[in-house]
Amino acid sequence: MTERIPVIEGLFTEGPEGPRLLGSRCVTCATPYFPKSLACHNPSCTEGRMEDAAFGPRGVLFSSAVQNYPPPPPAKYDEPYRPYAVGMVDLAEGLRVLGRIDTPDPSALRGGTPVELSVGHLYRDTEGRDVVTWQFRPC
Ligand SMILES: [Zn+2]
């Protein structure tokens, strides 16, 4: 079986209830952050103690674009390069997150489409491992 590793440790998890993004939330004003933030950046927040929080899986696509050419380093991808969609997703928890959109037709995506968080293949590394990342798919 192919070993599966996250592109970056600590950004997402695949638990029994499905994938979640790992972030934080201000205990005082409830502002959510992804990735985790050590401090609250809400200018009207006076205290700003942070706690760990998990976000997802439901969201709505705000906007999207097609990555038609290979992204510059340090981005990695499988050869031959295949265009993919990236989108800004408004999560139900009040957070706007950037991610790949898993769809067979990237140019057909429209804002307002309901999406759900998933974890999927990003590229195969030099040791043959399946490097995975968070993404969203229309639902
Ligand atoms: Zn705060």
pLDDT of residue 1: 75
The Cα 45–Cα 32 span in angstroms is 13
**How many of the other CB atoms lie within 10 Å of CB of 91?**
21
User: Which residues does the chain have with pLDDT short of 50?
Assistant: none
Q: What is the pLDDT of residue 47?
A: 86
Q: Rounded to the nearest whole angstrom, what is the distance from the C-alpha of residue 97 to the centroid of ligand 1?
A: 19
Q: Give the chain's mean pLDDT.
A: 95
- CA 36 – ligand 1 centroid, Å: 13
pLDDT at 78: 95
Q: How far apart are CA 3 and CA 8, in angstroms?
A: 15
Nearest C-alpha neighbor of 98 from the set 34, 9, 29 = 34
Report which DSSP code applies to 81.
Answer: P
Confidence (pLDDT) at 104:
93
Phi, psi of 85 (to 5 degrees): -95, 140
Write out the residues surrounding ion ligand 1, Cβ under 5 A.
26, 28-29, 31, 40, 42, 45, 48
Q: Element (H or E) spanning 67, and its range?
A: strand 58-67
Instruction: Please tell me the distance between residue 43's alpha carbon and the centre of ligand 1 in angstroms.
Output: 8
Q: How far is the CA of 137 from the centre of ligand 1 (A)?
A: 31
